[in-house]
Structure 1
Amino acid sequence: MENILELLASPAAWAALVTLIVMEVVLGIDNLIFISILSNKLPPEQRQKARRIGIGLALIMRLALLTMIAWIVGLVAPVFDLGIQGPLDSHGYPAFETQFSWRDLILIAGGLFLVWKATKEIHHSVDTSPSDDILDKKHVASMNFTAAIVQILLLDIVFSIDSILTAVGMTEHVEVMYVAVIFAVGVMLLAADPLANFINKNPTVVMLALGFLLMIGMVLIAEGFGAHIPKGYIYTAMAFSAGVELLNIWARRSKAKRGGGEADSGAGH
């Protein structure tokens, strides 16, 4: 109790909490996009339930991992070494690591899964044929509720480990990590339905979101091989692309309204 009171009175703890909340919310965007796209493949009556379960599992996963911080930190220790000398970058450092930890292997596996899933969904979206309606029904039918939850759980594990390792690197107070994680997952829970519905109503946004997942998957693979890409660059690019797409949606809606108004005016004459 005394430790909690000390944290409440510490400006440094509050600053760490705010920073960590922002970081956790930003890192949760990846998870939320995947959950939204996957849940939209289910029948309408099951989508909200799948999103609730998926986000609930993410919260449980993160809180459980926080109780095993020592084990999580140990995941960054090398478990094997390829024993080869990789190419050097312009500064004379190895371009990629030849030592791999459990964290690296988990990131690589998660990245490969995201690349495979996003590529599969993009192929389904662009491969049009006269039997599109039949294919769409088969695609929805093939994605049952259990399969969706299992895939969400697999990605929850990857994103949760990345999230907790980020939290460990920013503060040493477990209490601050707990509050930040709970707050960030609460934001995900509130944003899940509006985001999923927005993606579902705008087909071009679906393609953009799949492109995000493809990029995130490649970033996870790169990080697994030791190529550390600043997250700020990634999320800035995502925000810029999303902003451009929102302008396109706004322009299309304005054009449609003008077209509708002109049609009504013509009918009146």
Structure 2
Amino acid sequence: MDNLLQLAADPTVWAALATLIVMEVVLGIDNLIFISILTNKLPPEHQTKARRIGIGLALVLRLGLLGTVAFIVHLTEPVFTVLGKGISWRDMILIGGGLFLLWKATKEIHESVDPTPKDAGSAASLSFAAAIGQILLLDLVFSIDSIITAVGMTEHVPVMMIAVVVAVIVMLVAAEPLSAFIAKNPTVVMLALGFLIMIGMTLIAEGFGAHVPKGYIYTAMAFSAGVEGLNMLVRRRRQRKADGV
């Protein structure tokens, strides 16, 4: 308790907490986009439940991983070498997660362009289980990357835990509006899938040791989202003129 009071009285700790919260929220955007796209493919009665389970799993994973910070830090130590580059467990997780994102986003794009009808009655429960499994896999990838980044910013586990809880609460609040927005705007789905491909490539690049500044990624995403926003505005105005409003 005394240690916590000392932390609360330290201005540098508050600065680290604010920075970590912002970082966790920004990193959570990737996870939230994936969850929104995936759960929107489920039957309407299962979507909210799947989103809450997926985000809840992200919280449980991150808090659980924070309890094993010493082990997580060792994930960055090389396990073997390929062409002179040391590959760690973290690298392998990032590469695997990136490949999964590339496969999943490409598959979703293909289904959007050339949809094939399926028997919804026989696939509903399987789809829900598959969605939770895929969300859990990506939660693990993003959680490990997030925790390792947090460890590099502060050594205080309570600060990390508070930042994680706040970030997950923000994700929980934003999940429903984001999912509804994506569902109402089909072109946004394609844009979001493009984001996932870019994120997947970034994870693979970082897994092989090529650091890609996150600022470049999120600036590109913000620019694309802004262009799509202008396109949506133009479409709405044209629709209003066509309707005589």
The TM-score, its normalising length taken from structure 2, stands at: 0.96
* Alpha-carbon distance, 1:56 to partner: 0.1
Q: In structure 2, what is the Cα distance between the partners aligned to 1:16 and 1:139?
A: 50
Is 1:182 aligned to 2:169, yes or no?
Answer: no
CA distance in 2, matches of 1:117, 1:5: 46
Q: 1:246 aligns with which of 213, 216, 229?
A: 229
For 1:73 and 1:260, the matched residues in 2 are separated by 60
Structure 1 counterpart of 2:47: 47
Q: Which stretch of structure 1 is more off in the superposition, 140-149 or 247-256?
A: 140-149
Identify the residue that residue 21 of structure 1 maps to in structure 2: 21
User: How far apart in 2 are the matches of 1:59 and 1:257?
Assistant: 43
C-alpha offsets along residues 108-155 of structure 1, whole Å, 9 cap, x if unaligned? 000000000000011111126xxx5x3595997485211110110011
How much has 1:253 moved relative to structure 2? Answer: 1.1
Structure 1: runs of 5 or more not aligned: 86-97, 263-269
Q: Which runs of 4+ in 1 moved over 3 A?
A: 135-143
Distance in 1 (alpha carbons) for counterparts of 2:222 and 2:123: 30
Q: Which amino acid aligns with 1:104?
A: D
Amino acid at match of 1:240: F
Code of the residue aligned with 1:180 in structure 2: it is A
1:86-235 correspondence to structure 2 within 5 Å: 98-127=85-114, 134=117, 141=124, 144-235=127-218
Closer/same/farther in 2, CA of residues 140 and 217 from structure 1, 3 Å limit: farther
Q: Which amino acid aligns with 2:109?
A: I
Match of 1:5 in 2: 5
Q: CA deviation at 1:258?
A: 2.2
Between the aligned partners of 1:190 and 1:60, the Cα distance in structure 2 is 17
Which one has the largest radius of gyration? 1
Structure 2 unmatched ranges of 5 or more: none
Contact kept, 8 Å, 1:37 with 1:206, in 2: the verdict is yes
One-letter code aligned to 1:5? L
**Number of aligned residues:** 245
Contact 1:118 1:213 in 2 (8 A): yes
1:154-204 deviation per Cα after TM superposition (whole angstroms, max 9, x unaligned): 110000001101110111111110110000000000000110111011010
Whole-angstrom CA distance in 2 between matches of 1:140 and 1:253? 36
Shift of 1:251: 1.6
Which secondary structure state, in structure 2, belongs to the residue aligned with residue 170 of structure 1? coil
In structure 2, what is the Cα distance between the partners aligned to 1:60 and 1:140? 28
C-alpha contact (below 8 Å) 1:41/1:143 kept by paired residues? no
Shift in Å, 1:99: 0.9
**TM-score normalised by L of structure 1:** 0.87
